[in-house]
Amino acid sequence: MLNIAIIGCGVIAQYHLRALAKLKTARAAAVCDVRTDVAQKTAAEFNIPRWTASASELFADPAIDAVILALPASLRTALALEAFRHGKHVLTEKPVAMNANEVRTMIAAQGDRVGAVCSSRYRHFDSARAARDFLRSGALGKIRTITCRGISPAGAPPQNPPPAWRLRKDLNGGGIFVNWGCYDLDYLLGLLDFKLTPQSALARTWQVPAAYAAYAAPGSDAETHVTALITFAEGCVLNYERAEFTTLPPDNRWQITGDRGTLTLQMLKAKSANIVLTEPDAAKGTRTRVLWEGDETASSSEHDGVVNDFADAILQKRKPETTLQDALLFARIADAIYASSASGNPVSFD
């Protein structure tokens, strides 16, 4: 039985704790939060035998096998490094870190420990596995474009104060791109086994429009709208757009196009989730057929898949679904997008 400690007892920690409660191979052995009242309350609610305000106390305890870092990005790298120094396995929330250099320091410190990232959440469903297997078969041919467009128009004004970290560069490393782009790109690039080499990026970002200022916490300085074009050495291009708190109509689209067809995907759980292939047809020009279809709304939570995979990776001594090395690709792209937006010019990758 693996003993796993949760560092940070905010909203996301509740999902990890519920996922751990379903496992027979691992358990939540302790929770930690600098807010002692929150840590104590969480321990009582989930019947966890131990709570503390000191992460270092848990890292130094040989009875703790692994930790889940469920707190803002600005705090996670230092904790991950300390955990690795004490021989602990680490599952970190998304985005993986504040920038690519922080991810590199994690990789250098990791040793033979498992380092996993929660951005893999949407690749644990049957639909994603079906898409991955099809892509690995080579049936789509040479990849030309990878497309994502995720638009969430503004709804009613928030009833509660928005979380401060969500749109703060100093707390989260960025805004909508690191919040949702990490999922989009983990999903799309992960289906391609992260085997792409970025070359250049041209991007623009915009902050929350004045009409929706109340939707962001005071002091927010990160983007709510991003659009980017990323080129890869393998000859393909990523077209990306994400926006929230906008007047744009809703749109969710994930596509991978090769020279033999286009795969249209459904990343989010949906009642009619499907994977659709559009391919050449000698008589009609193109034809479309369903490769996978089903109702995934009854499936286990996307949070469950991440925690299950983390525990299994430790016990089976294998790589998790998204490794720190995999997540470095996203962090490099994020750095380039923000650098291009700040300069107004294309930027090249090292």
Both structure tokens of 53? 């305000």
What pLDDT sits at residue 160?
Answer: 87
Identity of the amino acid at 255? Q
Q: What pLDDT, on the 0 to 100 scale, is given for residue 162?
A: 86
224-253 mean pLDDT: 97
Residues 184 and 276 in one domain: yes
Q: Are residues 197 and 344 in the same domain?
A: yes
| Amino acid present at 259 | D
Phi, psi of 236 (to 5 degrees): -110, 170
268 and 311 within one domain = no
Shared domain for 232 and 109, answered yes or no, is no
Helix (H) or strand (E) holding 307, with range, is helix 302-316
Containing structural domain, residue 318: 2-121+304-322
- Cis amide prior to 158 (ω within 30 degrees): no
Main-chain phi, psi angles of 120, to 5 degrees? -80, 5
Q: What is the per-residue pLDDT for 350?
A: 80
Residues 58-71 have a mean pLDDT of: 97
Q: Whose CA is closest to 331, among 187, 123, 178?
A: 178
Helix, strand, or coil (residue 256): strand
Q: Do 291 and 159 belong to one domain?
A: yes
Strand order in the sheet with 237-246: 285-294, 273-281, 261-265, 251-258, 143-153, 237-246, 225-232, 198-206, 347-348
| pLDDT value for 289 | 94
Q: At what angle do helices 182-191 and 324-343 cross, to 10 degrees?
A: 120
Q: Domain check: are 317 and 334 in the same one?
A: no
Q: The whole model's pTM is what?
A: 0.94
pLDDT exceeds cutoff 80 at 300: no
Instruction: Provide the CATH number for the domain around residue 341.
Output: 3.30.360.10
Phi, psi of 197, rounded to the nearest 5 degrees: -120, 105
Q: What is the rounded CA–CA span in Å between residue 294 and residue 281? A: 26
Neighbours of 247 (CB within 10 A): 11
Do 82 and 131 lie in one domain? The reply is no
pLDDT mean over 323-343: 97
- Domain containing residue 21: CATH number: 3.40.50.720
User: Do 181 and 256 belong to one domain?
Assistant: yes
* Tally of domains in the chain: 2
CA torsion, ordered 328, 333, 335, 341, to nearest 10 deg: -170
When pLDDT is cut at 50, 70 and 90, the band that residue 85 belongs to is: very high
Q: pLDDT tens-digit profile of 264-291?
A: 999 987 777 789 999 999 999 999 999 9
Residue 127 pLDDT class (50, 70, 90 cuts): very high
Q: What is the mean pLDDT of residues 26-50?
A: 96
- Regarding whether 159 and 70 lie in a shared domain, the answer is no
Upper half-sphere CA count for residue 103 (Cβ side, 13 Å): 25
Same-domain status, 190 and 207: yes
Answer yes or no: do 267 and 133 share one domain: yes
55-59, 216-220, 296-300, 318-322: range with lowest mean pLDDT: 296-300
**What does the mean pLDDT of the chain come to?**
95
Instruction: Give yes or no: residues 194 and 157 share one domain.
Output: yes
